[in-house]
A and B are shown apart, each in its own frame.
Chain A
Amino acid sequence: MIVLGVVIAGLFLAYPWLIADDFYGRMGADVLLAAIGASAWNILGGYAGQISVGHAVFFGIGAYLPLLVFTHLGAPPVAGVLLAVLISLGLAVVIGLPTFRLHGHYFSMATIAVAELIRIAISNWDYVGAATGLMGPAVARTWLDLSFRSPIPYYYLFLAVLACLLLLTWHLQRSRMGYYWRAIRAGERPARSLGVRVARYKLYALLLSAAFTSLAGSLYSLMVGFIDPESGFGILRSVEMIIIAALGGAGTLFGPLLGAVILIPLQTVTNSLFGGGGSGLTYILYGGIIVILARFEPGGLLDLWRRASQRWSRRREPVAVRHAA
């Protein structure tokens, strides 16, 4: 198990050297970015079991602020990252307090409505570029603009952020808070009767989740250098986070990363095969995967693998016993 982990970590570190191609380098960065977003969603949606379909709100804020401080103040986009996280945290409190009184489907509905409300507002607000969106610096003025031609610096930046996020998640899932989250996911009433402060721990999960989703948005606009309402706040942004996390396994540490490793290259392939019209096909594929996943493997691929390996080791056991004898 440890060997496997070291090999995979090594592969992630060496990836840019293994393929000396900007196209695949960019795809690698896209995979890591998607993994960051999905892992951030996973804290609230996977561990705490609150299925938000409005996480694009935090992603959008994270993506807009860096380009906003650049457009209006001429500051390096990086200056907006922390501000975006703070605004996202504030908004998370405002959204979280009322919506956390709602359960299950109702919560999901509410998060969609809030996200759509904000998307429409942003699309009609001239200060933030309305429907056209915002551009970043065309050419890097100083290194502080973090505008590189090669995808490799972004790749390692994203890898570092992802590593921090996974380390934090790993630590939290083993902590008291992690157990509370799983208790809440299993059932709020039983959790409350055991003395878990449900509202508080749901809010903690949302705050963490919102902060890292916002960070993912900032990293996106730093790399792409352009943002518009649809790519920042669009419902498909939220959907992408959910499907990636669910494909790998919601509520598991490496599920979102696994989901991103599978889905983003798939998306790149369909987009390049079918050209501009491919986006429609990509979402047909997304929809199909989600439906099949929900119907047959709600636990995601990691769960499938765990069960398969259990069955396999059970079958091997008698052999091992015979050897021992």
Chain B
Amino acid sequence: MTFIQVIVGGLLLGAVYALFSSGLTLIWGMMNVINFAHGEFVMIGMYIAFLIVTYLHGGPLTFGPAAAAFLFLLGIVVYYSLIRHVIRGPMLAQILSTFGLALLLRYLAFWIFTANFKTLPQDLLPGVINVGGILIGVPQFVAGIVAIVLTVGLHLLLTRTAVGSQLLAVAEDRQAAMLMGIRPDRMQAIAWGLSGAGAGIAGALIATFYYISPTVGESLALTAFVVVALGGFGSVPGALAAGLMVGVIQSLSAYLLGPVYKDIVVYGLFVLILWVRPEGLFGKAGA
């Protein structure tokens, strides 16, 4: 029974991984850029939840949308002020720009909030669900379900709406999209906004059951890299499947080998994928 419970817990956590990784993979697919500050976007989402609960006494229905809105704007600002200018520059500038942003955001949070762990009060989403002997905490359950719904929603947005088609058109062929009257700049800004919003909500969801610290983004970003590499660069459904997988692998290795191993196994898996199948498990060869 414990075993099944561990797997269910892993799936719920993995759903949240899928949500913030899908933003990372969207950006990669569109512009061949990895946002090294993506983990810090999640971290900011967590602190927004903390601030709103502490100072405005808001609940999840307030801080979830607030985190999404704030990071949507941050994503757009980052795109227009930074990414747009380095995207045609040398590789070093591209990598340094988001990497420097990550350092800046991480240590600004460190400076403002100190290194002390913060947690949200336990009574925000109280209770435990009992499904045939499997116990699931309500925060984890809500986070997992919302994350899956939003990830699927992002996929539908990309594949079923006009905006989504325009986004994919820019990803496919920038020049041709321009000839069709699409503004690539605006579309890429929207992609950065969506990516940020996903990270923000994911942060707000994780904050309900996880400790909040300035450096939490570092390991979350690495997890997202693994998910993106596993799911294939640029694929939202791939990120969903890979996110769930990584969540389960993490929970199982923590349960079977000890908590220390949860990251070692996942990063080891990443290195293994690099050796065997650099295009990702679900990715297309030559991508």
Among B82, B100, B226, which residue has the most Cβ atoms of chain A within 10 A?
B100
Interchain CB contact under 8 A, A105 and B103: no
Q: How many residues of B contact A (CB 8 A)?
A: 47
Interchain CB contact under 8 A, A102 and B278: yes
Q: A120 — which chain B residues lie within 8 A by C-beta?
A: 260, 263-264, 267
Expressed in whole angstroms, the minimum distance between the Cβ of B114 and any Cβ of chain A is 9
A285-303, CB under 8 A of B: which get 1 and which 0?
Answer: 0111111011100110000
Interchain CB contact under 8 A, A294 and B96: yes
| Given A98-B278, A235-B218: A287 in contact with B97 (beta carbons within 8 A) | no
Q: A51 — which chain B residues lie within 8 A by C-beta?
A: 91-92, 95
Q: B102 — which chain A residues lie within 8 A by C-beta?
A: 287
Q: State which of B89, B103, B104, B264 has its C-beta within 8 Å of the C-beta of A298.
A: B89
Q: Does any Cβ of A come within 8 Å of B70's Cβ? A: no
Q: Does any Cβ of A come within 8 Å of B275's Cβ? A: yes
Q: State which of A117, A121, A290 has its C-beta within 8 Å of the C-beta of B96.
A: A290
Interchain CB contact under 8 A, B106 and A117: no
Q: Does any Cβ of A come within 8 Å of B32's Cβ? A: yes
Q: Does any Cβ of A come within 8 Å of B55's Cβ? A: no
Expressed in whole angstroms, the minimum distance between the Cβ of B263 and any Cβ of chain A is 6
Q: B53 — which chain A residues lie within 8 A by C-beta?
A: none
Q: Tell me the bound Cα distance from A286 to B108 in angstroms.
A: 11
Interchain CB contact under 8 A, A114 and B271: yes
Residues of B79-133 at the interface with A, using a CB-CB cut-off of 8 Å, are 81-82, 85-86, 89-97, 99-108, 110-111
Q: State which of A105, A112, A235, A239 has its C-beta within 8 Å of the C-beta of B33.
A: A105
Quick one: closest A residue to B108, CB to CB? A284
Expressed in whole angstroms, the minimum distance between the Cβ of A3 and any Cβ of chain B is 32
Q: Tell me the bound Cα distance from A288 to B104 in angstroms.
A: 6
Residues of B53-93 at the interface with A, using a CB-CB cut-off of 8 Å, are 81-82, 85-86, 89-93
Q: Tell me the bound Cα distance from A284 to B28 in angstroms.
A: 26
Among B107, B219, B229, B268, which residue has the most Cβ atoms of chain A within 10 A?
B107
Residues of A96-133 at the interface with B, using a CB-CB cut-off of 8 Å, are 98-99, 101-102, 104-106, 108-110, 112-114, 116-117, 120-121, 124
B188-228, CB under 8 A of A: which get 1 and which 0?
Answer: 00000000000000000000000000000011001001100
Interchain CB contact under 8 A, A98 and B229: no
- If over half of B's interface residues share one DSSP class (helix, strand or loop), that class is named, otherwise mixed; here it is helix
Expressed in whole angstroms, the minimum distance between the Cβ of B203 and any Cβ of chain A is 19
Q: Does any Cβ of B come within 8 Å of A210's Cβ? A: no
Q: Tell me the bound Cα distance from A286 to B110 in angstroms.
A: 14
Q: State which of B85, B99, B107, B268 has its C-beta within 8 Å of the C-beta of A284.
A: B107
Expressed in whole angstroms, the minimum distance between the Cβ of A129 and any Cβ of chain B is 16
Q: B218 — which chain A residues lie within 8 A by C-beta?
A: 235
Q: Does any Cβ of B come within 8 Å of A217's Cβ? A: no
Q: State which of B32, B264, B270 has its C-beta within 8 Å of the C-beta of A104.
A: B32
Interchain CB contact under 8 A, A242 and B96: yes
B245-266, CB under 8 A of A: which get 1 and which 0?
Answer: 0000000000000001001100
Q: A183 — which chain B residues lie within 8 A by C-beta?
A: none
Q: Tell me the bound Cα distance from A120 to B219 in angstroms.
A: 11
Q: B110 — which chain A residues lie within 8 A by C-beta?
A: 280, 283
Q: State which of B91, B106, B107 has its C-beta within 8 Å of the C-beta of A49.
A: B91
Q: Tell me the bound Cα distance from A138 to B104 in angstroms.
A: 37
Q: Does any Cβ of B come within 8 Å of A67's Cβ? A: no
Q: Does any Cβ of B come within 8 Å of A250's Cβ? A: yes
Interchain CB contact under 8 A, A288 and B100: yes
Q: Does any Cβ of B come within 8 Å of A45's Cβ? A: yes
Q: Does any Cβ of A come within 8 Å of B163's Cβ? A: no
Q: Tell me the bound Cα distance from A289 to B274 in angstroms.
A: 32
Q: Does any Cβ of B come within 8 Å of A33's Cβ? A: no
Q: Tell me the bound Cα distance from A187 to B89 in angstroms.
A: 13
Q: Does any Cβ of A come within 8 Å of B135's Cβ? A: no
Among A108, A124, A286, A299, which residue has the most Cβ atoms of chain B within 10 A?
A108
Q: Does any Cβ of A come within 8 Å of B34's Cβ? A: yes
Quick one: closest B residue to A124, CB to CB? B260
Q: Tell me the bound Cα distance from A250 to B105 in angstroms.
A: 24
Quick one: closest B residue to A242, CB to CB? B96
Q: B278 — which chain A residues lie within 8 A by C-beta?
A: 98, 101-102, 106
Q: Tell me the bound Cα distance from A287 to B90 in angstroms.
A: 19
- A–B pairs, 7, beta carbons within 8 Å: A51-B95, A105-B91, A113-B271, A120-B260, A281-B107, A281-B111, A294-B86
Q: A110-B274, A295-B81, A295-B82 are in contact. List 11 more A-B contacts (CB 8 A).
A: A105-B33, A105-B94, A106-B278, A109-B229, A112-B225, A113-B270, A120-B267, A283-B106, A290-B97, A291-B96, A294-B97
What is the interface of chain B, defined by CB distance below 8 A to chain A? 28, 32-34, 36, 81-82, 85-86, 89-97, 99-108, 110-111, 218-219, 222, 225-226, 229, 233, 260, 263-264, 267-268, 270-271, 274-275, 278
